[in-house]
Amino acid sequence: MNKIKPVVYILSGYKTKEKSIKLMKEIYRKNNISIKEYSINGINIFKPKYFINESKKIIKEIENENRPFFLHSNSAGYFNLCEINSKLKTAPLKNIIESGPGIMSLSNIQETIYRSNKIWIPSFLINYWLNKHGINEWNINRYEKIKDFPNKLILFGKNDKILDLNYVKEYVKKSQYQQDLVIFKNSGHGNIQKNEPEIYEKVLDSNIKKIL
């Protein structure tokens, strides 16, 4: 009897470049795992309804596929991963959280905009823009409530300037489940695969092989 081929749902962040996740995809392909990718567009990064609706679509696909699956988030894709886990009937083989977890704040919104567009916007203008679009600090309360779910591997860059390493350590400490946290000493936000490819491949590949 043929073994069912697993699938990974890659949940990319805002303006995630293909070269930033190229190694990740190669590792999954080497392990004979199918790839399905979802990415966040523009202002949707701040909208709770976007992640709620997007997660419903992905869950429906997971249920229709009826295959063993991984969830692998990158940066803000973490919010999508949270929404999916809060509604799933069947647990993934593994939740891989890369350059996460985190919550949105004015400082990391500024840093995200700067990294993506090379423009530094004053906080009062960001506040004005958020209020104009009816966006508040929705994700802080929402994802603090639903974030704790089992079977997580967290890959985090020590020099991340967008998210707080102390927050991640506290996240792991407070969890009721066993969490695996790997800190990459020479990486920042969203560049682990580029800066430390050999260690990254070893960590991800070994975790996949433990499961399959």
**Domain residue ranges in the chain:** 7-102+146-211
The answer to which of 59-63, 131-135, 157-161 has the lowest mean pLDDT is 131-135
Question: pTM score, two decimals?
Answer: 0.87
Cα four-point dihedral sign 27, 31, 32, 36: negative
Q: In this predicted structure, what is the pLDDT of residue 120?
A: 83
Mean pLDDT score, 133-146: 60
Q: In CATH, what is the architecture of 7-102+146-211? A: 3-Layer(aba) Sandwich (3.40)
Q: In this predicted structure, what is the pLDDT of residue 45?
A: 67
Q: Per residue in 37-52, pLDDT tens?
A: 998 876 666 667 788 8
Percentage of the chain surpassing pLDDT 70? 84
Instruction: Name which of 74, 20, 30, 65 is nearest 208 in CA terms.
Output: 30
67 vs 134, which has greater pLDDT?
Answer: 67
Q: In this predicted structure, what is the pLDDT of residue 131?
A: 75
Please check the confidence at residue 138 and state whether its pLDDT lies above 60.
no
Please check the confidence at residue 63 and state whether its pLDDT lies above 90.
yes
Q: Per residue in 172-199, pLDDT tens?
A: 998 888 889 999 999 999 999 999 999 9
Q: In whole angstroms, what is the distance from residue 43 CA to residue 50 CA?
A: 10
Helix (H) or strand (E) segment spanning residue 96: strand 94-98
- pLDDT, averaged across the chain: 86
Instruction: Name which of 51, 94, 96, 108 is nearest 72 in CA terms.
Output: 96
* Angle at the Cα of 151 from the Cα atoms of 76 and 165, rounded to 5 degrees: 45
| Residue 96, CA distances (Å) to 144, 151, 154, 183 in order | 18, 9, 6, 13
Q: In this predicted structure, what is the pLDDT of residue 1?
A: 44
| Three-class secondary structure of residue 154 per DSSP | strand
Q: In this predicted structure, what is the pLDDT of residue 108?
A: 67
Q: In this predicted structure, what is the pLDDT of residue 124?
A: 80
Mean pLDDT score, 135-153: 68
Q: In this predicted structure, what is the pLDDT of residue 132?
A: 74
Q: In this predicted structure, what is the pLDDT of residue 149?
A: 87
Helix (H) or strand (E) segment spanning residue 8: strand 7-14
Please check the confidence at residue 200 and state whether its pLDDT lies above 80.
yes
Side-chain-side CA neighbours of 7 within 13 Å: the count stands at 13
106 vs 167, which has greater pLDDT?
Answer: 167
Instruction: Name which of 191, 204, 181 is nearest 33 in CA terms.
Output: 204
Q: Per residue in 88-122, pLDDT tens?
A: 988 999 999 999 887 766 666 777 677 667 788 88
